Structure 1
Amino acid sequence: MAMGAADIVPGVSGGTIALLTGIYERLIGAIKSVGLDTLVTLKDKGIKAAWQEIDGNFLLSILAGAATSIILLSKILHYLIETQPIMLWSFFFGLVLASVVYVMRQVTKWNALRLSWLALGTVVAALISLSPAAVLEPTPLSLFFAGSIAICAMILPGISGSFILLLMGMYSVVLGAVKSFDVVSLGFFAGGCLVGIMLFSRVLSWLLQHYHHATMALLSGFMLGALVKLWPWKQVISYRENSAGQQVPFIESPIWPWAQQEPQIGLAVGALIVGFSMVFVMDFLLKNKK
Structure 2
Amino acid sequence: MGTVETVPGVSGGTVALVVGVYETLITSAGHLLSGVRRAVVDVPRGRGTERAAAELRRVHWRVVVPLLIGMAAALVLMARLIEGFVEDQPIQSRALFFGLVLASVWVPFSLASRATRTPRSDDDIRADGRWSGRDYLVGAGAAAAAFLVVSIPPGNVDPSKPMIMFAAAIAVSALILPGLSGSFILLTFGLYEATLSALNDRDLGFLAFFAAGATIGLASFVKLLQWVLEHHRRVTLVVLTGVMVGCLRALWPWQDDDRALQAPDEHIAAAAGLAALGFAAVLAVLAVERRVTGRLP
The question of a shared fold, defined as TM-score above 0.5 by the shorter chain, is answered with yes
User: In the superposition, relative to structure 1, how do residues 285 and 153 fare at CA in structure 2: closer, same or farther (>3 Å)?
Assistant: same
CA separation in 2, counterparts of 1:182 and 1:72? 17
1:265 deviates by 2.1
> Aligned runs of 1:63-74 on 2, under 5 Å?
63-74=68-79
Q: Identity percentage over the alignment?
A: 33
1:182 deviates by 5.8
- Which blocks of at least 5 consecutive residues in structure 1 are unaligned? 238-250
Name which of structure 1's ranges 208-217 and 164-173 shifts more when overlaid on structure 2: 164-173
Root-mean-square deviation (Å): 2.8
- Do structure 1's residue 158 and structure 2's residue 179 form an aligned pair? yes
Task: Please give the secondary structure, in 2, of the residue aligned with 1:105.
Answer: helix
Q: In structure 1, which of residues 170, 173, 187 is the aligned counterpart of residue 191 of structure 2?
A: 170
- Which blocks of at least 5 consecutive residues in structure 2 are unaligned? 114-129
Q: Which residue of 2 aligns with 1:102?
A: 107
CA separation in 2, counterparts of 1:256 and 1:275? 21
Q: Deviations over 1:221-272 (max 9, x none)?
A: 11111111111122x23xxxxxxxxxxxxx3322111xx2xx2222222222
CA separation in 1, counterparts of 2:56 and 2:226? 20
Q: Which residue of 1 aligns with 2:2?
A: 4
- Do structure 1's residue 55 and structure 2's residue 60 form an aligned pair? yes
> Aligned runs of 1:245-264 on 2, under 5 Å?
251-257=258-264, 260=265, 263-264=266-267
Letter in 1 for 2:33: G
Q: In structure 1, which of residues 264, 277, 288 is the aligned counterpart of residue 280 of structure 2?
A: 277
CA separation in 2, counterparts of 1:104 and 1:155? 17
Assess if the C-alpha contact under 8 Å between 2:35 and 2:54 holds in 1: no
Q: Which residue of 2 aligns with 1:77?
A: 82
Assess if the C-alpha contact under 8 Å between 2:92 and 2:271 holds in 1: yes
User: In the superposition, relative to structure 1, how do residues 25 and 131 fare at CA in structure 2: closer, same or farther (>3 Å)?
Assistant: same
CA separation in 2, counterparts of 1:78 and 1:37? 37
Letter in 2 for 1:168: F
CA separation in 1, counterparts of 2:283 and 2:19? 10
Letter in 1 for 2:79: S
Letter in 2 for 1:266: A
Name which of structure 1's ranges 218-227 and 269-278 shifts more when overlaid on structure 2: 269-278
1:207 deviates by 0.8
Comparing both structures, which one devotes a greater share of its residues to strand? 1
User: In the superposition, relative to structure 1, how do residues 280 and 188 fare at CA in structure 2: closer, same or farther (>3 Å)?
Assistant: same
1:149 deviates by 0.9
> Aligned runs of 1:90-169 on 2, under 5 Å?
90-108=95-113, 109-169=130-190
1:174 deviates by 4.4
Name which of structure 1's ranges 116-125 and 51-60 shifts more when overlaid on structure 2: 51-60
Task: Please give the secondary structure, in 2, of the residue aligned with 1:130.
Answer: coil
User: In the superposition, relative to structure 1, how do residues 194 and 133 fare at CA in structure 2: closer, same or farther (>3 Å)?
Assistant: same
Q: Which residue of 1 aligns with 2:33?
A: 35
1:193 deviates by 1.3
CA separation in 1, counterparts of 2:189 and 2:228? 27
